[in-house]
Structure 1
Amino acid sequence: MQANSLRALITCEVTTEFLASLKERNIQYELCGWGQNGMTLSDSELVAKAQNCEIVIVEIEELNRKVLESLPNLKFVGVSRGTPVNVDLGFCDQQKIPVVHTPGRNADSVADYCLAMMLDLSRKLTSSSRHLSNEGWLFDGKLPYLEFRGREIGNLVIGLYGFGQIGVRVAQRLINGFGATVYYFDPFVESSSYATKVSSLEELFEISDIVSLHAPVVSGTENSVDRALLKKLGPEGILISSARAKLVVEEDLYQALKTREIASAAIDVFWSEPIEKTDKWLGLPNVICTPHIAGASLDVVSNHCETILNGIDKWLSSNNTVKGPA
């Protein structure tokens, strides 16, 4: 190893550009773990690999107190996740170890997914494709043109439950791309140039044609979308669920869709994952189910690499540890 160089263990997906940037900064690295081969390192494996490292960058692997206490040289932690739930932040704070995570790394990807599902369900695209595959061209002797007519996004009212980085991007796309009317409910966001705030979740569901979920699961939001709220959305209403499944009472949503109290839904996050191919959700004709892939774009990796590299540069600059790139 070169004199004055630093050592990094990386267990998340990274780009070749990111690795080249580490070399420019005189940082030697080892790649292993979940991001490289799909196999998550155990605590003992992580400690053994990172024992002499000043930098550890993870996504799935746990940096709990026991692991952190076993890494005497650790000076910087990177986490390629929206929230660093796999890191003992209290310990890192005590030891003055900076933790850089990557909020918003998949915000554009999830926003694109939500728009795709809104378009699909409002225009009945997947529904018509399933019919063509299973039944043929005509629908009960009628032209499919008559059965599968949908609604244009620009004429709809879209409600956003939660207005963080993803919610804002969804609103931007709806306003700038389609001219839709957008409302949001989020007690922590006072105002926005892209959407109008409403005073309650009940009001949001009452006035919206489509509701997209973007809130975190905390004590006040868990199971907040129940049967009574779904009834306010109405028989033409559409629900997009790509945030956290536990925002919604599972059986309430299932029954609302089965009895057509709401028209349709897209579900990317489930109450228990993975689901089986025999799962009840896959049997509903008015539901599009996807396997937790809303945030799975190829751009997400480069996004989190950029954020973590910026964090490394800030840390190096504040400590004068190593020269940056020439």
Structure 2
Amino acid sequence: MDNPYVFITRKVPEETIQAIREVADVKMWDHEDKPVPRDILLEEAEQASGLYTMLTDQIDRELLNRAKILKVVGNLAVGYDNIDLDAATEHNVIVTNTPDVLTDTTADLAFALLMAAARRVTEAERYIADGKWVNWSPLLLAGHDIHHKKIGIVGMGRIGETVAKRATGFEMDIQYHNRSRNERAEQELGAKYVSFDELIETSDFVVNLTPLTPETTGMFNGEVFSKMKKNAIFVNAGRGGSVVEDDLVKALEQKELAGAGLDVFEKEPIQKDHPLMKLPNVVCLPHIGSSSIETRMEMCRLTSRNIRNVLLGEKPETPVNWNR
């Protein structure tokens, strides 16, 4: 009997896919920084039992209708808004993701964005690089304190809770908004549950960590930004689609916000001439929330184990739609 076939849509370290090679023939798209073209992805899906995918790969109904023998889609991310989950379930395709293993790393990055935006770190680096530092003055590139300020976390899941844990080290006043109460964060970290409106109106730092859903799409818009404190910092390490970027640009230009730290954007990758890139009070990163060597290697290994388990008829470690 022929082995099942698995297509990997981006180049990943060979040592992380041994679990798949034990049970399947594997083909890897051999371009680390270039997404697989749509037509090739469709062709590969037609003959694959497993797909090892990235957030940039659209696993939609069209693809799933053509993927007659597909059993599993292993997504190398905690999010899976690139996958039509209903269509996958209808086609008996198991979808997996990589939660938990990236929680601490992403929380580190979210807090780094908060600190960099508040203390104008990248702006200060550019100040030196541009040859502008010729003297010292008392308020040179003065930013905003982080300690003892109020942080408002929108999306108190695993990552949100871990960001809150880091905030305790800065003796911050922690409040959050979520679809449901996180009693552990309240009891262990002193986090306070508040309404969305109260959070945006009273927080010194607003940190978005929500997944992208119909309810969260565009939730941070001009009306919301206008209600924030004039000296507030907005941080987005969740999903770019939850922010109306034109409204954010306008709010920053009109000094309705003090600054922003962004790891995700409406359309990725953004270009160097994007309006957000031109604002001195904005820190922009290329979606590297979970990008530490240790975490990305473990994400790759977990994705491989998930695909292997499904191909063997076993339950994957982190299924999304196993019981749907």
Q: What TM-score, normalized by structure 1, do the two folds share?
A: 0.79
Q: Which of 213, 222, 243 is matched with 2:208 structurally?
A: 213
Deviation, structure 1 residue 287: 1.9
CA distance in 2, matches of 1:196, 1:189: 10
Q: Which of 58, 61, 79 is matched with 2:53 structurally?
A: 58
CA distance in 2, matches of 1:220, 1:270: 17
**Contact residue 212 and residue 241 of structure 1 kept, 8 A:** yes
CA distance in 2, matches of 1:64, 1:261: 39
Find the counterpart in structure 2 of residue 292 from structure 1.
Answer: 287
Deviation, structure 1 residue 184: 0.8
CA distance in 2, matches of 1:226, 1:242: 16
Find the counterpart in structure 2 of residue 163 from structure 1.
Answer: 156
Deviation, structure 1 residue 30: 1.6
> In the alignment, is residue 184 of structure 1 matched against residue 167 of structure 2?
no
RMSD: 3.2
Find the counterpart in structure 2 of residue 323 from structure 1.
Answer: none
> In the alignment, is residue 16 of structure 1 matched against residue 9 of structure 2?
no
Q: 1:276-318, CA deviations, whole angstroms, 9 ceiling, x for partnerless residues?
A: 4333323322222333333443344323223323424543564
Higher deviation after alignment, 267-276 or 73-82: 267-276
Number of aligned residue pairs: 311
**Contact residue 217 and residue 247 of structure 1 kept, 8 A:** yes
CA distance in 2, matches of 1:91, 1:27: 25
CA distance in 1, matches of 2:174, 2:276: 28
Q: 1:239-273, CA deviations, whole angstroms, 9 ceiling, x for partnerless residues?
A: 11232334334344333322323221123333444
Q: Percent identity?
A: 27
Larger radius of gyration: 1
Letter in 1 for 2:122: T
Q: Secondary structure at the match of 1:178?
A: coil
Q: Which of 298, 302, 309 is matched with 2:304 structurally?
A: 309
Q: 1:28-50, CA deviations, whole angstroms, 9 ceiling, x for partnerless residues?
A: 3121266x56241434x345445
> In the alignment, is residue 27 of structure 1 matched against residue 24 of structure 2?
yes
Q: Secondary structure at the match of 2:147?
A: helix
Unaligned runs of 5+ in 1: 321-326
**Contact residue 120 and residue 281 of structure 2 kept, 8 A:** no
Find the counterpart in structure 2 of residue 144 from structure 1.
Answer: 137
* CA 1:84–1:115: 2 relative to 1, 3 Å: closer
Q: Which has the higher contact order (CA 8 A, sep 6+)?
A: 2
Q: 1:153-199, CA deviations, whole angstroms, 9 ceiling, x for partnerless residues?
A: 33222111111232122112222x43332211112234223352333
CA distance in 2, matches of 1:222, 1:46: 27
CA distance in 2, matches of 1:69, 1:219: 24
Q: Which of 275, 278, 286 is matched with 1:283 structurally?
A: 278
Alignment of 1:1-326 (within 5 A): 5-23=3-21, 25-32=22-29, 36=32, 38-43=34-39, 45-46=40-41, 48-49=43-44, 51-59=46-54, 60-104=56-100, 106-134=102-130, 136-137=132-133, 143-175=136-168, 177-191=169-183, 192=185, 193-312=188-307, 314-315=309-310, 318=313
Unaligned runs of 5+ in 2: 316-324
